Amino acid sequence: MGHTAAVAGASGYAGGELLRILLDHPDIEIGTLTAGGNAGTPLGAHHPHLIALADRVLADTSAATLAGHDIVFLALPHGQSAAIAAELGEDVLVVDLGADFRLTDADDWTAFYGSEHAGTWPYGLPELPGARTALTGARRIAVPGCYPTCGTIALFPAYAEALVEPEAVVVAVSGASGAGKAPKPTTVASEVMGSVSTYAVGGAHRHTPEFAQNLSVAAGARVTVSFTPMVAPMPRGILANCSAPLKPGITAADVRAAYQRHLADEPFAHLLPEGTWPSTGMTVGANHALVQVTVDEAAGRLVAVAAIDNLTKGTAGGAVQSTNIALGLPETTGLPAAGIAP
């Protein structure tokens, strides 16, 4: 029997990508679509590529308009999901693509987001140790940030097997869609084309505590993360370059064997053959994370590189993957398994 789903924030990038995926999901029927300032307009005015839904008129975003569905996806800016979720019944599966319920530490939330912590929901990164158990049968899911999705998949095998010291460095470059659909001076074409820039340097990015939280879960001990994000002149994709000091006696063979053990059975996280390095172009439109790992012998560091599509595996695809687990469906149901090239 199928499930009905409402999507709040349907006119944004995350909402549009979610709808693209749900159109091919055999067990989920798309119901009400809502928006904020774009309420009252047809979806096709914002996502003309979604032909089958183009005539749907966007409703106002409220608990009342979202009620009556089995699943509610909230693709809203941070701080807007908690109030709506509180009005939805416990029998509804609520999947928050925003940040409101990702962090376990209330002080971290307040420090990075500047408001009261709304609580913590099961974390929607199935590859992270323990996550699938927490997601099974869940009625609330917090979808990870796109940067932490990529960097966590790159590093968690090393921390799960205690191969590296608890101090990671992540430098990741994202396409401009990671900043959302609303035009900003730093993301319009005239600023992005032909230029690579960095921002939120020195631990200021809001995904920093999420990185530390995830890798600490994998390690079973506190891990610090120095995270530097960058924007590249491309619409979508993330490439995360990650490193950490090796513990004494750990070899390159130890590292590769650990990654093979942790990723061999993952449907959407893959260790590439030796000598092949991930690129964002390999992942466009697919729900896959591609990983390569090596050892910098001279520096005594593990180096792991991962690539994802920030809108697919990094947001909407990850949301559907976690939703499948919560509903007891095969994890891969309805998810794009092949990318787009060239």
Positions annotated as catalytic residues are 146
Selection from 238, 252, 253 nearest residue 305 by Cα: 238
Tell me the HSE value of 154 on the side-chain side, using a 13 A CA sphere: 31
Q: How many helices (H) and strands (E) does the chain have?
A: 10, 13
CB 168 within 8 A of CB 224: yes
Residue type, 137: G
Question: Do 140 and 123 form a contact (C-beta atoms < 8 A)?
Answer: no
Strand 197-198 and strand 224-231: the pairing is antiparallel
∠ Cα 69 26 290 (to 5°): 105
Q: Residue 292: helix, strand or coil by DSSP?
A: strand
Contacts with 161 (C-beta within 8 Å, 6 or more apart), sequence order: 258, 261, 262
Residues 6+ apart with CB under 8 A from 171: 227, 228, 230, 240, 241, 242
Taking a C-beta distance cutoff of 8 angstroms, is the pair 48, 11 a contact? no
- Strand segments, DSSP code E, in the chain are 3-8, 28-35, 59-60, 71-74, 93-96, 140-142, 167-174, 197-198, 224-231, 238-245, 269-271, 289-296, 301-308
Q: Which two tokens stand for residue 123?
A: 């974390």
